[in-house]
Structure 1
Amino acid sequence: MTDAERALLIDELLCKEYGAPFIPFSYRDPVSELVGSLLSHRTKNAVTRSAYQRLQEELPTWEEVIDAPTDRVERAIAAVTYPEVKAPRIQAALRNVRERREGVLSLDFLADLSVREARDWLEVIPGVGAKTSAAVLSFSRLRMPALVVDIHHQRVAQRLEIVPPKASLEKSATILQDYIPPEWDGQRVYDSHQGFMRHGQRVCHWRSPDCHRCVIREYCPYPAGD
């Protein structure tokens, strides 16, 4: 069995275990999802949501965020990790989009590109890497088949030897995206991410994984207790 075949088999088992198809948690436009994703780096989801809401209350449009003094943006997002870094980064990212789109602050055009083309366009923006570009395409209303790979997803894939043990998050994302069948739509790719992520959060912990209740134990080279 090839790594790709193992990955898809495991994917099916995890989707079944955790109840796919999963209801998307966001219906934002892609620019708003870009801001939310930049806020979320190294920050818990609940804190990110609170900071995003506060930013929208303080500065209701993204044009206002661009034009506001950076310290005002920083105060609005103070709850997140490293607000002093994220405030200017968000403003710069929004400016980048507006300038490259000749004054139009929108990313809806990405729907007309391939996933690879759309990710390449986004990853020109300073601070936007593989995880953020995929999140903008997958989690926004675009629902494009871009695979988001977070640390939980990566950890499961590495323990299963689907990706190399020392692969970076970006390299892991590239490998796992290549396993995705071309006929999968955005919902199916979203389900794949959710299945792996939930397994990493609930069972395949960084320390002391609960191997005794792992539904993919037979496919793991190093299950605890064996």
Structure 2
Amino acid sequence: MTRSPSRLPAGAKARAPLALAALEALYPDARTELNFRNPFELLVATVLSAQATDVSVNAATPALFERYADAYAMGRATPEDVEPLIRSIGLYRGKARNLVALAALLVERHGGEVPNDFDAVVALPGAGRKTANVVLSNAYGYPAIAVDTHVGRLSRRLGLSLQNNPDKVEADLQRLFPRERWVFLHHALILHGRRVCHARNPRCSACELREFCPRIGVEP
């Protein structure tokens, strides 16, 4: 049985092009703020970024990638080998276990390469739908919207979605925005969430989207 799409907020279809135009003007070069040189490094950095800041991840990964440059090297390590290199990142013990396990699976199933396949990435330890969207969109140009806390919060505040479930927010945004702008959209929303539309004390008076924001000045 096909599930019917969720109800969009009133006025969402009219606000969507306004939001996109404003974000394009504000963040024309929006991209991930994680540092990486190849798909493997992006996958590792994205797994590390769960419940952690990109700044903390970027501070830890140079030493990590110097020691473990690819899936073959990391897959031969133990979690105890990896832990000291990522200790500054939240939940580092569990992430160390996942990194070693996912690297071993990349070697076993994919010749050490990150597959350009959504289901294959989701199946890796420590990965999920958001991780797959981030990795495939940034590494391979896959059209995707990765919904993190910023994207979810802004989608609700801007009246683009009524949903709290990230998968449902993603589906709403996909209905409202052109497929070719999905990757840009999630990067721009993340930047706006970090710089202006904070979870606490959003800077509404400085927001370029305030003229059509239905929740301006309203606490979350």
TM-score, normalised to structure 2, is: 0.83
| Displacement after TM superposition at 1:222 (Å) | 2.5
Give 2:93's aligned amino acid: E
1:170 and 2:167 are equivalent in the alignment: yes
> CA offsets per residue over residues 165-197 of structure 1, 9 Å max, x none?
x52223322332343424x1xxx4332223212
Residue of structure 2 equivalent to 1:65: 74
Report the CA distance shift for 1:121/1:7 in structure 2 as closer, same or farther (over 3 A): farther
Question: Corresponding residue for 2:196?
Answer: 203
Higher mean C-alpha deviation, range 150-159 or range 191-200: 191-200
1:219 to 189, 201, 212: 212
What is the aligned length? 208
Shift of 1:154: 1.5
Letter in 2 for 1:136: V
Could you say if the C-alpha distance between residues 200 and 122 of structure 1 is closer, same or farther in structure 2, counting changes exceeding 3 Å? same
Would the aligned equivalents of 1:11 and 1:196 in 2 still touch at CA under 8 Å? no
Identity level (%) = 28
Distance in 2 separating the partners of 1:195 and 1:152 = 10
Aligned-pair CA distance for 1:105: 0.9
Q: TM-score, normalised by structure 1?
A: 0.81
Match of 1:145 in 2: 143
What does 1:123-142 align with in structure 2 at a 5 Å threshold? 123-140=122-139, 142=140
> Aligned-pair distance for 1:87?
0.7
Report 1:22-33 matches (<5 A).
Answer: 22=30, 26=35, 28-33=37-42
Q: Give the corresponding residue for 1:21.
A: 29
Question: Which runs of no fewer than 5 residues in structure 2 stay unpaired?
Answer: 1-9
1:170 and 1:129 map into 2 onto residues whose CA distance is 11
Q: Deviations over 1:2-24 (max 9, x none)?
A: 634522331111221x2403366
Whether the aligned pair in 2 keeps the contact of 1:62 and 1:94 (CA below 8 Å) is yes
Q: Distance in 2 between matches of 1:175 and 1:97?
A: 32
Higher relative contact order (CA 8 A, sep 6+): 1
Q: Structure 1 204/22 Cα, relative in aligned 2: closer, same or farther at 3 Å?
A: closer
Question: How far is 1:157 from its partner?
Answer: 0.7
Classify the secondary structure of the residue corresponding to 1:37.
Answer: helix
* Cα distance change, pair 21–57 in 1 and its aligned pair in 2 (3 A): closer
Q: 1:92 aligns with which of 90, 96, 101?
A: 101
- Seen in structure 2, the aligned counterparts of structure 1 residues 100 and 173 have a Cα distance that, compared at 3 Å, is same
Select which of 106, 116, 128 maps to 2:113.
106
Unpaired stretches in structure 1, ≥5 consecutive residues: 111-117
Which amino acid in structure 2 is aligned with residue 168 of structure 1? N
Give the RMSD, CA atoms, in angstroms: 2.3
Shift of 1:122: 1.6
The separation in 2 between residues aligned to 1:129 and 1:8, in whole angstroms, is: 29
